[in-house]
Structure 1
Amino acid sequence: MSIEELTRAVHSINKQKAPGPDGIPGEFYQTFWDLIKNDVAEVFQAIYRERRLGESMRQSTITLIPKKGDLKDLRNWRPINLLSVDYKIMTKALTKRFQSHLPTVIAADQTCSIPERSINDNLLLVRDVILHSKVPLGPAKPGPGKGL
């Protein structure tokens, strides 16, 4: 990944997100990016060469955050995984790189979670198919052995 791709990814990280198991927040990367960008890029190049994520990238911390209602009821808590920010930087850079290629890989009828596509398009298609299938194609013909 290029320094430019990583820079865009670093600056797109939400500052309000909790850090992962390594405890390093997104603000650290954003504040010190000019000093650490070459080292981070070198780490990501090593990950690519060795085909193996660093240990902190293979870990997450699962925590519960409260929804609403009685917090003594477990159903009112939502589990989330806290991932390391370096992992988020890498995945954001890769996502941005692949985004322009998605329309050529993903079929046109796949609409969920694809930018500029709407699941409503598929709902309309299903409705049209149902309406079309109910339209009579002409007068019914008698079956074999059945006369008029």
Structure 2
Amino acid sequence: MPEFLRRQLDHLTTTHLLLLEATRDTSHKQRRKLFRSEAMWTRSAECEAIIQDLWNYNAYEDCPKRRRLRSELEEYLSHEEILWKQRGKAQWLAEGNRNTPYFHTRASARKYKNSISRLRDKNGEWCITHEGIQQIISSYFADLFQTSFPSEEAMERVIRGMPARVSENMNDTLIQPFLADEVKFAISQMDPYKSPGPDGMSSAFYHKYWHIIGPEVTSFVLDFLNHSYFDTMFNYAYIVLIPKCASPENMNYFKPISLCNINYKIGSKLIDNCLKPLLPTIVSESQSAFVPGRLITDNILVAYELNCYLAHKTWGSVGHAALKLDLSKAYDRVEWIFLGGF
């Protein structure tokens, strides 16, 4: 069935509102449903039995085991969906949300609100076709993240001029091998209901069934961190666009986030825990965000006070000026050649 669109158009001379009504082909949406581990599984004894049986099957390593487990859980999920369709009039409670018409209406409205039905291209023209929207998004990120071909010699000169902030004692701490207890602690720190990555697994699943899957997951993560064993699937991620405003019109009003696989999140959490105690010493005091004990509002207040001072300065022979620089997505523009220099 075609998708129906209704949009209010821009107007310059008339006091009337112009409405655009159109249909759009939705055949592209006919795709295989993505696997997602469900929080309700953690309450099912049958689900735990499935996991126990498959994880004790010694012929499979971690990744093939998870693929086999995923297949079995997908079949279990399909049976659950059929069951709840048969009990369509029953009221059931799942993490505080009741299966009511109000809840489904809210969910549908949220899905519609989060969908990208149109975007402006570089020329400011609206595009409502899926192919056109995909091209706008792809071109935007291709232009944004392309290399600037920096000079290796110039970069080395800059790096040589930077003072070392990591002492020998700090380095000895950083190169210590990670331990199994740290993996379990990292899992306990993770939000159980964060959106999953391509593997479909959530932290809630790992929390509940850690007594079954914990040893092999721990071995997998430690092999990566301590011995540089790296499976390409480990680094897969979904890129999701988060709107910065209520009605984004072009790509500048979206910020991308990565939904990573759960094992990748565990590894990054371990590294984060290792670096966190050293950050206040390594990171400059002028960097007031993303460091424990510092707030980004500190710099905002300082900038406000400085601008007030400049605006009210009416005496003296020495003048001052303030520059406003556009550093959009500054943290996302790091050259690989720069990282390789370390």
TM-score, normalised relative to structure 2: 0.33
Q: Which residue number corresponds to residue 299 of structure 2?
A: 122
Larger relative CO (CA 8 A, sep 6+): 1 or 2? 1
Task: Trace 1:12-23 onto structure 2 (pairs within 5 A).
Answer: 12-23=189-200
For the residue of structure 2 that corresponds to 1:14, the secondary structure is coil
**Does 2:325 correspond to 1:110?**
no
Find the aligned partners of 1:67 and 1:136 in 2 and give their Cα distance: 42
Find the aligned partners of 2:243 and 2:300 in 1 and give their Cα distance: 34
Would you say the 8 A contact 1:66–1:78 is kept in 2?
A: yes
Structure 1 counterpart of 2:184, one-letter code: T
Structure 1 counterpart of 2:260, one-letter code: L
Residue 87 of structure 1 deviates from its aligned partner by: 0.8
Deviation readout 1:48-92 (Å, 9 max, x if unpaired): 34435322221112356789978xx78798764321111111111
For the residue of structure 1 that corresponds to 2:285, the secondary structure is coil
Q: Which residue number corresponds to residue 85 of structure 1?
A: 262
Q: Which residue number corresponds to residue 275 of structure 2?
A: 98
**Does 2:193 correspond to 1:44?**
no
For the residue of structure 2 that corresponds to 1:100, the secondary structure is helix
Task: Trace 1:55-94 onto structure 2 (pairs within 5 A).
Answer: 55-63=232-240, 80-94=257-271
- Runs (4 or more) in structure 1 with deviation over 6 Å come to 65-70, 73-78
**Does 2:184 correspond to 1:10?**
no
Would you say the 8 A contact 1:21–1:56 is kept in 2?
A: no
Find the aligned partners of 1:77 and 1:121 in 2 and give their Cα distance: 26
Q: Once the two structures are aligned, what percentage of the paired residues are identical?
A: 27
| Deviation larger for 13-22 or 46-55 | 46-55
| Deviation larger for 107-116 or 58-67 | 58-67
Residue 3 of structure 1 deviates from its aligned partner by: 2.1
Residue 112 of structure 1 deviates from its aligned partner by: 1.6
Find the aligned partners of 1:93 and 1:57 in 2 and give their Cα distance: 15
Task: Trace 1:16-31 onto structure 2 (pairs within 5 A).
Answer: 16-31=193-208
| Deviation larger for 117-126 or 95-104 | 117-126
Specify every segment of 5 or more residues in structure 1 that has no aligned partner in the other structure, as ranges: 139-148
Residue 10 of structure 1 deviates from its aligned partner by: 0.9
Find the aligned partners of 2:268 and 2:225 in 1 and give their Cα distance: 13
| Deviation larger for 108-117 or 28-37 | 28-37
For the residue of structure 1 that corresponds to 2:298, the secondary structure is helix
| Structure 1 pair 7–18 and aligned structure 2 pair: CA distance change class (3 A) | same
Would you say the 8 A contact 1:3–1:37 is kept in 2?
A: no
Find the aligned partners of 2:240 and 2:306 in 1 and give their Cα distance: 45
Would you say the 8 A contact 2:180–2:222 is kept in 1?
A: no
Find the aligned partners of 2:315 and 2:245 in 1 and give their Cα distance: 52
Residue 96 of structure 1 deviates from its aligned partner by: 1.6
Find the aligned partners of 1:115 and 1:84 in 2 and give their Cα distance: 26
| Structure 1 pair 94–107 and aligned structure 2 pair: CA distance change class (3 A) | same
Residue 97 of structure 1 deviates from its aligned partner by: 1.8
Would you say the 8 A contact 1:10–1:89 is kept in 2?
A: yes
Q: CA RMSD in A?
A: 3.7
Q: Which of the numbers 281, 305, 309 marks the counterpart of 1:131?
A: 309
